[in-house]
Structure 1
Amino acid sequence: MQTNTVDLADQIAKQLIQQKEEKPRTKSYIQLASIYEKANNLTDAMYILQEGLQVYPTSLSLHRALWTFYANHNIDRGKSLHIPRTIKRVLNKKPIRFFEFLQRIFLKNHQYKTSLELLKMELQTNPEQKELLYKIIELSLEFGHFEETISYFEKLKSLEKDTKSLVKLNMKIGMVHMAAGRFEEAEKQFAYCNENYAELLPEIYKDNYEKIVIFNNGESSIEFYKYIHPTKRMVATFDAIDKTVTGKPFAYKLLKKQGVDLISLRRRTANNYHQDITREDYYHAIEKLVSYYDKRFAYGTSLGGYNALFLGSTIPDCKILSMAPRNPAHPIYGTKERKYNKFLHPLSHPVNKDIQPTICYDPKEKVDNPYITKEIMHSYPNAIYKKFYYAGHRVPTYLREAGVLKEIVTLFLSEKPIPDYDRKLHTKSAEYHRVLGIHCRRHKKMKWALALANRSVELAPKYDRSLALRIEILIKIGKLEEAEKYTHEAIELHPNLSRFYLLLADIHIANGESAKAEKMLEATNKKIRSKKIREKIADLKGKE
């Protein structure tokens, strides 16, 4: 939304909240409809004006506004039904949705406090509307209003008739008590659930977890996953570079079998590097909750490995497992993302001599190694460093393929030392062969590079990075016919990945068929939204 639009919505909301108006004024209806009209959302704009006439059937200003709207947008049917529709709405009143439409603007712009105030106002006139209570609970939790949220939960319980919904409400009440530091009440709540719903719990919770969100600033959020059986162990997890809040947290599949609670830092978009959250923000959000646990752990890889150290070290007596720690937005040790993102964290982590994190990394990785040796080793002088040569940046992938990731995590959560593994385990890993192949290509050992790429594909036939490396090497050594064959096979496996279409374009160009490459990319561009494909097309057009 444009700034002036948000300002207008803010004015409407402030007037409603300050005057404690149970229903909007005629002017408010006209203003909100104009916001949606300017956003070209004509259906909702029309609905808002029609609802206004349901509330104020004799308002000349609303009649005039709606009639003008019909005329401006050539809605002839609207004109003919104007009076009959108005009479019908007055006689058969529907719930007022004005607040819902106004809140959409604030939610879209992450103005959650205003949205929460509007919801509370709406609740005064609809105190038994379950959907409204659920929305208020969600926002209240994200602001850390735990005590207040309990009363909303209790109200919901009095309205809810479905047994499974009641089980979930009772579990969540216990979790809110935990977040508020009221552990005795929390344990009573969980005991009640286990005593009264023992048979239902496994049916409702297939993964053995209930979830609530206990912090949300619009970009970063913290999810609390409660194991349905008693546990005094928690793991703070931090998402890797390829994860957002739409999926499960990092290492969820692995950790859910360990009987631990999870406190997971999530991000709304893939280009968020958690510069919106400070160490103080993070710990303040979970401070009361983590004091419940006897054993505390933090675990992450890549961006998550960085945050396991940077944020996880704020948790008292916390054991940390960090793999390939890296924040791509770091202005010195970052990757290309550093050009487009502000870095607001300190350039160096605070020096911490009191903890002994375990840090797994590849000393041959050209981005990770300088950061770890020049920064991380200085900040965590007592850390244990486990080196996995040619694991690359995707260390957990390498360890999983080598068959030791689960064992490492289990040992870590048991507070046992992680051994030095036999390096021959790398023969099982497609990632190892791919990374070593990249190193060979970098040193112009193309025969070895191709053999390693082929072996990587044998171990993981559908792995897009290995498939791409093999094609790139074949193009480099001039085996274009073979490269094209493998590219078409890769496109069949990964029809939505732009990288293979770009490689196919490179093959056509190498064959002197630039026009064919351009035509193919233009056809692809209609199916796949890719900035790189558009840039490649522009580059080809520029050379014509």
Structure 2
Amino acid sequence: MGNKAITSNILYNNVSNFKKLVVKRDIDGVCSLVKGSHFGFFSSHCIKVREFQYLSAAYLKLELYEDCLSLLDIGCRRYPSSIPLMNLKAICHSRNKDIDSEIYVLERICRLQRQYSSKVDEKYAVRLERARKKIFQKEKRETIYFNDDNCLRYMLGSKDGRVLFVTFWGSRGESEDKLGDDLFYLRAGYAEKFLLQNGWDVLSVIKRKYNFYQDISLSEFKRVVLPILSRYEKVFMYGGSGGGYAALYYSIGLSSVVPIVFSPRVSIDPIAQNSRKQNVEYPEFIHKPISDHRVLNKAFVFYDPKHKVDRGYVENRVIKCFINAVVTAVPFSGHGAFMFGELGVVKHLVKSIVSENSVPVNFYNRKQSKIYHYNLASHLFESGKFFSALKVSLRALRILEGKNARRDKIDIYNLVMKKLSKKKLYSCALDLHLEFKNEAWFLSDKNKYPRGLSKNKY
């Protein structure tokens, strides 16, 4: 008992000294204290951002990069909007020569700054530009065409150079990056990293401002890319939503090119006007509608037939143009390729198309998809099939698994509670609340009483 008491006393004194040194901002003192100690000894006592900051800085100074990253992972989970912690994480990745991870963290910092202060701190923008230039040199990236608004970047992902993907961002590409117009040429291309990791060469089309590709004519695009395309046995054009439209449009007249697209459409086309947002100015649609062309190219098209705008565009534009298209309808998958990404089947799907020129049979299991359950439940609610929608939602809450299961279940739970609130079915809401109130995912959510259904009504 005596030895345990002495050990406990030493532990208490060390932790107390650590917290005092943090208050004094004495980084050298923290280094001397943690040197040689077990990782979990101090990390388990970190509560405040500054404690995480000084302990990770000490690990960084002592060149204990793995311990530093482990601690910062814990800190960033606890404080997901803390730029000082993410900055230290980027520095640690840089010193550990993990440039991809450094870029990922710096991009996240830029997104947060854009979100909260509408501009990016110049020092982070400069570091991000420097890191991306290192990647460009390392991966032999080459800009083959560049002007004020468009950048076409050519990257080698393999030695044999047999397969090339030409990729196009949809409207989300610009909004998700948020690096600012002055750094648009540094943005990652659509699916760029995924394609390079699988050994395929990539030609990424990157835009300053997303304008539905109205500023690049078909003839101009062909003039620029044909010298590259002629080097390859197989060429695919790849994109989703507006990027899917671009992949289809720019493959017209290129007989060897095969588009792979998810939910292709362009909102400024008169046939897809229902997808336009209110109070947003749209450019004029100057392209010739693709249904006015007849193309013999094989094309792989994936879309949700329950999505009215996507179905209308595929049936009235895509199929009329690409008469040999392999069209795969995936009900309740939603707009884009997000359900396939969620289920982790994109790699298997694309590899099968590249190697076998066909779509694999039963390549996804929708029962493990939150997007499928959410869209199906929403559809049933809107169709007035209230109890069928509840049945689907409850099944999802019971069976969904995986790293994002907590967030997925909360989204579905909130959808159901919102609909129950609208129908004033408070007893049904109470039953749902009682069934799941002790679940780990439910307890971790701060918003247990969505809008319109206050705690008092329980």
CA deviations 1:231-264 (Å, max 9, x no partner) are: 2321011113311265532223431232111111
Q: What residue in structure 2 maps to residue 240 of structure 1?
A: 170
Aligned equivalent of 1:262: 202
Contact kept in structure 2, 1:275 and 1:344, CA below 8 Å: yes
1:478 and 2:424 equivalent?
yes
Aligned-pair distance for 1:402? Answer: 4.2
Deviation at 1:267, TM superposition (A): 2.6
What's 2:376 paired with? Answer: 436
Q: Distance in 2 between matches of 1:493 and 1:308?
A: 42
Q: 1:286 to 1:328 in 2, by over 3 A?
A: same
In the alignment, is residue 361 of structure 1 matched against residue 291 of structure 2?
Answer: no
Alignment of 1:129-144 (within 5 A): none
The within-5 A match list for 1:58-457 is 205=138, 209-227=139-157, 229-244=159-174, 246=179, 247-269=187-209, 272-334=211-273, 335-337=275-277, 340-342=281-283, 343-394=285-336, 396-421=337-362, 425-456=365-396
The secondary structure found in structure 2 opposite 1:300 is strand
Partner of 1:469: 415
Give the aligned residue type for 1:214: I
- The Cα shift of 1:505 comes to 5.8
Partners of 2:356 and 2:219 in 1: CA distance = 27
Q: Distance in 1 between matches of 2:348 and 2:331?
A: 19
Q: Deviations over 1:33-67 (max 9, x none)?
A: xxxxxxxxxxxxxxxxxxxxxxxxxxxxxxxxxxx
Q: Secondary structure at the match of 1:462?
A: helix
Per-residue deviation at 1:494? 10
Pick 1 or 2: higher relative contact order, CA cutoff 8 A, min separation 6: 2
Secondary structure at the residue paired with 1:344?
coil
Q: TM-score, normalised to structure 2's length?
A: 0.56
CA drift of 1:325 comes to 0.7
State the 1:324 CA deviation.
Answer: 1.2
CA distance in 1, matches of 2:444, 2:202: 35
Give the AA of the match of 2:246: N
Could you tell me how far apart the structure 1 residues matched to 2:158 and 2:326 are? 33
246-255 or 300-309, which deviates more = 246-255
Q: Which runs of 5+ in 1 are unaligned?
A: 1-164, 173-203, 513-544
Counterparts in 2 of 1:469 and 1:228: CA distance versus 1, 3 Å: same
Contact 1:454–1:470 (CA under 8 A) maintained in structure 2: no
Distance in 2, matches of 1:493 and 1:222, equals: 44
Question: AA paired with 1:474?
Answer: L
Q: 2:165 is aligned with what amino acid?
A: V
Secondary structure at 1:452 match in 2:
helix
TM superposition shift of 1:493? 9.1
Is contact 1:391–1:432 with CA below 8 Å preserved after alignment? yes
Distance (Å, rounded) in 2 between the aligned partners of 1:273 and 1:347: 13
TM superposition shift of 1:217: 4.1
Matches of 1:467 and 1:268, distance apart in 2: 38
Using the size of structure 1 for normalisation, the TM-score is 0.48
Code of the residue aligned with 2:152 in structure 1: it is I
CA distance in 2, matches of 1:451, 1:484: 15
Q: CA deviation at 1:228?
A: 6.0
Please give the alpha-carbon distance, in whole angstroms, between the structure 2 residues aligned to 1:227 and 1:210: 9
Alignment CA distance shift 1:273-1:461 (3 Å) = farther
CA contact (8 A) 2:418 2:450 kept: no
Q: Which amino acid aligns with 1:381?
A: I
Question: Would the aligned equivalents of 1:223 and 1:264 in 2 still touch at CA under 8 Å?
Answer: yes
Rg larger in structure = 1
The alignment yields a C-alpha RMSD, in angstroms, of 3.8
Per-residue deviation, residues 204-244 of structure 1 (Å, max 9, x unmatched): 74xxx332333344333322222263423210111133112
Letter in structure 2 aligned against 1:387 = A
* 8 Å Cα contact 1:433-1:453 kept in structure 2: yes
Contact 1:306 1:327 in 2 (8 A): yes
Describe the shift of the 1:378–1:293 C-alpha distance in structure 2 as closer, same or farther (beyond 3 A): same
Identity, % of aligned positions = 23
Once residues 211 and 415 of structure 1 are traced to their aligned partners in structure 2, the CA distance between those partners, rounded to angstroms, is 29
- Deviation of 1:466 after TM superposition, in Å, equals 4.3
Runs ≥4 in structure 1, deviation > 4 angstroms? 454-457, 463-468, 479-486, 492-495, 503-508
Q: Report the CA distance shift for 1:230/1:455 in structure 2 as closer, same or farther (over 3 A).
A: same
Aligned to 2:74: none
Q: How many residue pairs end up in the alignment?
A: 300
Unaligned runs of 5+ in 2: 1-129, 180-186
User: Relative to structure 1, is the Cα distance of residues 421 and 228 closer, same or farther in structure 2, using a 3 angstrom cutoff?
Assistant: closer
